[in-house]
Amino acid sequence: MEYRKFSGLDRRVSVLGLGTWAFGNDFWWGKQSDEVSLDVLEKAVENGINLIDTAPIYGRGHSEEVVGRFLKKRGQRDKLVIATKLGLDWTSGKLFNLKRAAMLREIEASRRRLGVEVIDIYQIHWPDPETSIKESAKVMREFYEQGLIKAVGVSNYSVDQMKEFMNYCPLHSLQPPYNMFRREIEEKILPFCVENNISVLSYSPLHGGVLTGKFFFDNVAVPRDMVRKNLDDLKEPKFSVNKKILLELKKIADSYGKSLAEFVLNWTIHAKGITTVLVGARNKKQIQQNFGCLGWGIKEEDIKKIEAILDKRKKLLNL
Positions annotated as catalytic residues are: 58
Q: Can you tell me the distance from the alpha carbon of 94 to that of 1, in angstroms, rounded to the nearest whole number?
A: 41
Q: Can you tell me the distance from the alpha carbon of 2 to that of 270, in angstroms, rounded to the nearest whole number?
A: 11
Cis peptide before 223 (omega within 30 of 0): no
Q: Can you tell me the distance from the alpha carbon of 66 to that of 72, in angstroms, rounded to the nearest whole number?
A: 10
* Helix, strand or coil, per DSSP, at residue 83: strand
In which element (H, E) is residue 199 found?
strand 199-202
- Which residue, among 223, 207, 186, has the nearest Cα to 280 in the 3D structure? 207
Reported for 111-117, long-range contacts at CB under 8 A and 24+ positions apart, including other chains, are 111/148, 113/56, 113/61, 113/64, 113/65, 113/68, 114/54, 114/64, 114/67, 114/68, 114/71, 114/82, 114/84, 115/68, 115/71, 115/72, 116/68, 116/71, 116/77, 116/82
Q: Can you tell me the distance from the alpha carbon of 97 to that of 142, in angstroms, rounded to the nearest whole number?
A: 18
Backbone dihedral angles phi then psi of residue 278, each to the nearest 5 degrees:
-85, 120
